[in-house]
């Protein structure tokens, strides 16, 4: 208790078109590479998990919303670099939503839901960006 933690909800922008044009096998390879890239952007003490088809959730322990924003920017920049898969160069972006414990919720389900809501706001406002839950004035 007494310290802040952040949940980052990451959604890959335009991933459905990757599966549709290159196939699910290539899509799976890209997801594995993305997972590695995301892990390179966080500390060993942080946790990352694939949440759904093209979504990831990060738990950053002892992290302020400013630090979570820095990590989000780092991930966005890293994912923006083209991925080489066989003969294809794939360009992707990510939209990220951030929620903060304990400010936005006391349990992981609430924090994931609120970071998911913030991620949808990021998508709506132009993709390849992040939004902090409750911070609609950026």
Instruction: Show which residues are catalytic.
Output: 54
Token pair belonging to 89: 């160069």
Q: Among all chains, which residue has been given the structure tokens 């706001």?
A: 121
Nearest residue to 10 via CA among 29, 37, 28: 37
Q: Taking a C-beta distance cutoff of 8 angstroms, is the pair 98, 112 a contact?
A: no
Which H/E stretch holds residue 131? strand 130-132
DSSP SS3 for 73 = helix
Nearest residue to 58 via CA among 2, 127, 130: 130
Contacts of 20 (CB under 8 A, 6+ apart): none
């Amino acid at each position: 208790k007494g310290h802040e933690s952040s949940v980052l909800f990451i959604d890959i922008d335009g991933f459905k078109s990757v599966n549709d044009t290159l196939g699910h096998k290539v899509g799976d390879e890209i997801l594995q590479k993305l997972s590695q890239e995301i892990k390179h952007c966080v500390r060993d003490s942080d946790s990352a998990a694939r949440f759904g088809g093209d979504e990831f959730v990060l738990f950053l322990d002892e992290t302020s919303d400013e630090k979570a924003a820095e990590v989000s920017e780092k991930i966005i920049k890293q994912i923006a670099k083209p991925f080489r898969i066989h003969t294809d160069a794939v360009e992707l972006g990510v939209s990220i939503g951030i929620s903060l414990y304990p400010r936005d919720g006391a349990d992981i389900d609430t924090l994931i839901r609120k970071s998911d809501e913030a991620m949808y706001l990021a998508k709506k406002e132009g993709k390849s960006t992040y939004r902090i839950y409750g911070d609609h004035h950026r």
